[in-house]
Amino acid sequence: MRRVLIANRGEIAARVARACFDEGLETVLACSEADRETLAARLADRVVVIGPPSPLESYLSVERVVAAALTTDCDALHPGYGFLSERPELAAACEENGITFIGPPADVMRGSGDKLKAREMAADLGIPTGGGTRGLADAEEAVALAEELDLYPCLIKASAGGGGRGMTIVRSADDLRASFARSSQEAERAFGDGTVYLERYVERARHVEVQVLADTHGNVVHLGERDCSTQRRYQKLIEEAPAVGLPDAVRDGMRDSAVRLARALGYVSAGTVEFLVDTDRNEFVFLELNARVQVEHPVTEMVTGVDVVREQIRVARGEPLSVAQPGITVSGHAIECRINAESPRRDFLPSPGRVERWTAPQGHGVRVDTFVENGATISPYYDSMVAKLIVHAPDRAAAIDLMLRALARTEVRGIETTIPFHAAVLGTERFRESPVTTRWVENEFLPAWLEGGE
């Protein structure tokens, strides 16, 4: 491996470029016309424009991405996260053209990316799945199965993807009939597949995920777990590692289940196995396996000292993992805030525009992953993330205090951001005293915060 095409944009493109530099690799950034002057473009050794700003004509085009790799003589490709990162078509096209895909092989991605198949495999391994249905395309069939299995309340979920697309809570047959077509259509638009399924809904749940790494030599390890329960409309806002306050049996069970599932799938590269923890019963159920590096991987890196992206590169080169399970320890506590160009007080309305001034905090235990500089433009064509602010401290209380100081010293002018929201969440006694559940932000925090107007 000598030259890597980075088929992504924003902070993850800059993050991959730095990892490639550390591994002694040249980089080519494949970007849209909107991103040709970004920090990621300057960090890469070369830039190739693959299309106009529209993602469908640039970042989501397998043909254009692969052509960019071939014309620039790249022998490897890193997809980052989002866009084509979990599309087996890209991995297959790379394999067909002699390009090393820095991620799982296409056949493994097909097995892990289909939520229904992954759930079936988890059930076969004895991993709790919480019950649910097969893939459905008919509302009346869904109603009949929900009643037969006594699933209410339940979730309608897209089979082909995540991120909350097509996901709806339903509490009755009438709700299910009213929501089924809308959820299926949203899944079709987002993933090109309108198949949905039903899954039992847990009222008071924590969203906990386990980071796994696997190589081509049969080695599979976990890097502990992350708590991603601070979310709104199924979109993660704040992530932490480790997930505190879990019974040992639940923590160990999720870690063991993640490794066993990855091994059974023949998984290769970095992946994330997601679980839902029922806080009333202290039980966990398997949700899905994400076959890519996650947005929140830095909190895992901070508490373990393992560079997840560099491990991806080493595995793709055919090398064994640089770490073994007995040598992996979790030290201290890390928190990540996703700083987005949004207006929290206006229902998180996107706030694209020019960043007139950007000042990032510095100090021991503070990390900033971003593509933003003074004068950078937050484009309306893509997601609104400005930066990821990550801190690491000896314990959770110290990490919260450090994050509050870091947020206070982060200056962004020219656009609105979610910084005030993050500071308000971290400043509540409820957040500080114990981990929250997935509906806390929407049901409890936001109504009180918006009414208070502070």
Residue 321 sits at the vertex; the CA angle it makes with 318 and 324, to the nearest 5 degrees, is: 155
Max distance between CA atoms of the chain, in angstroms, equals: 59
Is 292 one of the catalytic residues?
A: yes
Kindly give the pairing relationship between strand 333-340 and strand 235-241.
antiparallel
Mind giving me the DSSP string for 364-379?
A: TTEEEEE---TT-EE-
Give yes or no for a contact between 319 and 379, defined as CB atoms under 8 angstroms apart. no
- In order of 9, 83, 102, 283, the CA distances from 12 in angstroms are 6, 12, 14, 34
Q: Which residues contact 157 (CB under 8 A, 6 or more apart)?
A: 115, 166, 167, 196, 197, 198, 199
DSSP H or E segment with residue 237: strand 235-241
Angstrom distance (rounded) from CA 333 to CA 241? 6
Ranges of H-type helices in 317-438: 396-408, 419-426, 429-433
Q: Given strand 385-393, what is the order of strands in its sheet?
A: 283-290, 269-278, 205-214, 220-232, 235-241, 333-340, 385-393, 366-370
Give yes or no for a contact between 350 and 382, defined as CB atoms under 8 angstroms apart. no
Angstrom distance (rounded) from CA 254 to CA 210? 7
DSSP three-state, residue 361 = coil
For 254, phi then psi, to 5°, come to -70, -45
> Of the listed 292, 314, 367, 396, which one is catalytic?
292
Give yes or no for a contact between 217 and 235, defined as CB atoms under 8 angstroms apart. no
Nearest CA among 97, 69, 66, 76 for reference residue 24:
76
Angstrom distance (rounded) from CA 433 to CA 6? 41
CA R_g for the chain: 21
Cis peptide before 153 (omega within 30 of 0): yes
Looking at residue 203, its amino acid is E
| Active-site amino acid positions | 292
